[in-house]
Amino acid sequence: MVSTKHETQKNILLYINGEFTPSLSGMTMNNINPFTNEQINEVAEGQADDINKAVAAAREAFDNGPWKTMKLTKRMEYIYRIADLIDEEIEKIAYLESLDTGLPISQTRNMVSRASDNFRFYAGMVENRLVGDAYQVDDEFINYTINVPVGVAGLITPWNAPFMLETWKVAPALATGNTVVLKPAELSPLSANLLAEIIHKADLPKGVFNVVHGYGEIAGDALVKHPDVQLISFTGETKTGSTIIKNSADTLKSCSMELGGKSPIIVFEDADFERALDACVWGIFSFNGERCTANSRLFIQEGIKDKFIDALKIRVANIKVGDPLDGNTEVGPLIDKGHYSKVNGYLEIAEAEGAEVISGAIPIEVAKGNFVAPTLILNAENHMRVAQEEIFGPILTVMTFKDEEEAIKLANDIDYGLAGYVWTNDIKRGHRVAHKVEAGMLWVNAQNVRDLRTPFGGSKSSGIGREGGHYGFGFYTEQKIIHVSIADHRIQQFGKK
């Protein structure tokens, strides 16, 4: 394990215009360890004035700095340099992520290793796929498109998997020539601060990248409403996303929203039983269940219901719950006491609605932490709150279906539409169901594996827009059309005698 105790206890500052600085008000927030509920350090609490300062720096860097006009090869050197510096810090970032979020370190290591991939991937995409089109009009015109950076990108990131999701947004924003103001989640500031240190070490021009810590309703709100911010990319809860869209309307911002999920996993009788079981357990109990694409609603075909539930009970009882810094831990504590209370509240709701709650065990030695044991909710019905509302914890709601038609109907009878999973050895049926489930992303006979080349995003209450691959170019750049005359085409002559 990397020894970073002295570093995690230092107070965290804002990063504005190439400098680490306190908030203008001098206010700070306490950063709490979810495993011990003890304070890790203090974090500068950004207010509207700090957002104004950061946006001004980003605006100046975009309008008058070298970033957007820099030769592409030079700009990409910076992007690749950031990726290399991330690789040098993987173990440290994974440690900080686990300390800050309660996510098991065996899982944060895998997530963090993807962060440098985000920068290298988007550098390659800009070099090879950020291209325009040309349209010839007889022998009179050549019309062609170019892609130009939009301006200042406001990026608001969540507390689950913070470093990977921060880089997921920062990498394409910077690679396409925008400047950035990042507002990380107030509950997980450690790795965002390290990202600022890494980018500072990469020696980007001042003002190109800025970080303002603070509460969403204050710092985040000021960023959303700022007239000099052209883009808002947000990952988080659906209600907050709706508020952001409303508050960005007055300044006509482009918004990309990756919001909540209540994703179905549909297991047919002919599925590969053990692989479907593995995927189902991993998909809901990994990352402490705090993931937007978690398969939190299980629909089992009636013929294998008893066998599958019995197997689930055994798995849940054997999941290792404990210290997130222990490499053997599979489920750690939830992010904070407020979220812990919310998730526990849903177990009470489940019982009140008539469902059966079966939970694993929490070792007594970790009782100080925000632990909710891996839990099955059985005998549930699709109309229940525990089947309809995003819980965002290690809780699987289990239901059954008779046939393909009912499975699709149940899966779609919900406001969310982020992801879905289908398990069947009838590949024709797998395609049919995937086509009909109302979600932005479907996996057939697969767990949640990501391909950076593909679009990421949801439908219905799960979001607006797509990022990933070249699909994000439509958000992070503006398409400009250039019309060039190549002949003396006819121009009408008004007022000429």
Amino acid at 459: S
Q: 21, exposed or middle or buried, with CB in 10 Å at 0-12, 13-18, 19+? A: middle
Q: How many angstroms separate the CA atoms of 302 and 270, rounded?
A: 12
Q: How many angstroms separate the CA atoms of 105 and 391, rounded?
A: 23
What separation in angstroms does the CA of 362 have from each of 290, 357, 391, 429? 18, 15, 19, 40
What separation in angstroms does the CA of 44 have from each of 109, 190, 193, 261, 449? 27, 12, 11, 31, 36
For residue 417 the two structure tokens come to 């539409």
Q: How many angstroms separate the CA atoms of 122 and 178, rounded?
A: 13
Q: How many angstroms separate the CA atoms of 375 and 18, rounded?
A: 46
E strand or H helix that includes residue 301: strand 297-301
Q: How many angstroms separate the CA atoms of 40 and 194, rounded?
A: 15
Q: How many angstroms separate the CA atoms of 194 and 213, rounded?
A: 13
DSSP H helices, 305-382, are: 305-318, 337-352
Catalytic residue chosen out of the listed positions 166, 258, 290, 330: 258
258 is catalytic: yes
Residue with tokens 């003002």: 207
Give the single-character DSSP code of 487: S
Q: How many angstroms separate the CA atoms of 226 and 222, rounded?
A: 6
DSSP H helices, 31-158, are: 48-64, 72-88, 90-101, 105-128
Q: How many angstroms separate the CA atoms of 48 and 222, rounded?
A: 5
CA-atom Rg of the chain in angstroms: 24
Catalytic residue chosen out of the listed positions 45, 89, 186, 292: 292
As a dihedral over the C-alpha atoms of residue 455, residue 460, residue 463, residue 468, rounded to 10 degrees, the angle is 0
Measured in residues, the chain has a length of 497
Q: Which distant-in-sequence residues (6+ apart) come within 8 Å of 15 by Cβ?
A: 21, 193, 196, 200, 209, 210, 211
Q: How many angstroms separate the CA atoms of 69 and 80, rounded?
A: 18
**What is the strand order of the sheet 152-156 is part of?**
19-21, 14-16, 209-211, 179-183, 152-156, 231-235, 254-258, 463-464
DSSP H helices, 129-237, are: 162-175, 190-201, 221-225
Question: What residues act catalytically?
Answer: 258, 292
